[in-house]
Amino acid sequence: MDAKEISNGIVGAAVKLALITLLLFFIYQVQSVFIYLLVALVISLIGTPIMNILKKRLKFRHTLAVVTTMIIFILIAVSLIMMFVPLLLSQGQNLSLLNTASMEQDFNNLIFQISSYLNDHNIDAGKLMENSNWTSKINFDLIPNFLNSLIGTLSSFGVGIASVFFITFFFLKDQDLFISISKKILPDQHEDKILSSVEKINELLSRYFIGLLLQLFIVFVLYLIVLLIFGIENAFVIAFLCAVLNIIPYIGPLIGTVLALTLTLLSNLGTDFKTEMLPTAIYVMIGFMVVQLIDNNISQPIIFSNSIKSHPLEIFLVILIFGLLFGVFGMIVAVPIYTVLKVIGKEFFPDNQIIKIFTKNI
């Protein structure tokens, strides 16, 4: 290899690196567009069964079915915004979630009351906390930042909601066009398998996202009932935050329960710790545990078995592996990605014995 070839190789590598850098920079600059596309894709997956029902059972024409489906989504979005956002803003303010200094002061007051209660029972909790100094390590910006980012996301989505619904409309309307274009692009020898995979993935993920929304709604309602039964202030926002955290498999409900206990105690500051705060917190914890038992033994098995055709143990292991590899984000996307891989495996490697075992119900 002469000097000219080496220099050409270096120049080529530099050009490729520059192009990759520019591409990543471009993606970063227009990341909102990719978010809109992803949200629109999920909404279109949820809307496809609705559109099919309108076409098959009510004999709607394709365009009318799409328009009707979009109207349903718009009405749902408007209703949620009118119902959720004002309550989140008002109750968030009442709970001092937007005031980090106030929350830290209340938390320190709560720690003092807990320490006093334990000292009355001959447990030197104050010395233990002083030695570990764990209270100084708590990030009190976590909850207010989470709520502020959530509200900010809703506001930003409000700006881009027209774009999302516009993209969703064409995702639903031009499904046949996308399939036609794909047939021209895809290799002939794999065309049928790829299109069959896409159709099956669309069906499974549609059912999965609908089931997931239903699961979160059921969990939210049950959380809200538990908090209202025990007269917890700001029950709506606490139930909403815990339901959102439930998106994170296994870890989310645990974090939500701890969050609910903390906010319950903070909401009852000023009452007697032994006779009011502690019993109420225990009752809320028991109530949340009952909700999780209902969710784990009824809601989740129904979603996993009926939507993605996977065994709960199989899903647990997949989520655990994705969580170890990619963190919390991996746990959230584990089930959809695993579903896609199962469908592709069945279409392209139908004779593989291992794949047969895992895809026998698909």
SS3 sequence of 47-59: HHHHHHHHHHCCC
- The lowest-confidence range among 25-29, 62-66, 106-110, 281-285 is 106-110
At residue 223 the predicted structure's pLDDT band, cuts being 50, 70 and 90, is very high
SS3 call for 61: coil
Q: How far apart are CA 160 and CA 358, in angstroms?
A: 40
Average pLDDT for residues 103-109, to the nearest whole number? 61
Q: How many residues does the chain have?
A: 362
Q: How far apart are CA 89 and CA 92, in angstroms?
A: 5
Core vs surface per residue 315-326: b (16+ CB within 10 A) or e: beebbeebbeee
Mean pLDDT of the chain: 77
Average pLDDT for residues 301-312, to the nearest whole number? 75
Higher pLDDT, 139 or 172: 172
pLDDT of residue 241: 82
Are residues 177 and 118 in contact, defined by beta-carbon separation less than 8 angstroms?
Answer: no
Average pLDDT for residues 3-9, to the nearest whole number? 68
Answer whether residue 225 shows pLDDT above 90: yes
At residue 98 the predicted structure's pLDDT band, cuts being 50, 70 and 90, is very low
Average pLDDT for residues 120-134, to the nearest whole number? 56
Average pLDDT for residues 25-32, to the nearest whole number? 77
Q: How far apart are CA 254 and CA 246, in angstroms?
A: 9
Give the type of residue at 284.
Answer: V
Answer whether residue 50 shows pLDDT above 80: yes
Q: How far apart are CA 252 and CA 244, in angstroms?
A: 8
Answer whether residue 264 shows pLDDT above 90: no
Are residues 280 and 232 in contact, defined by beta-carbon separation less than 8 angstroms?
Answer: yes
Supply 249's token pair: 């498999």
Supply 9's token pair: 């190789």
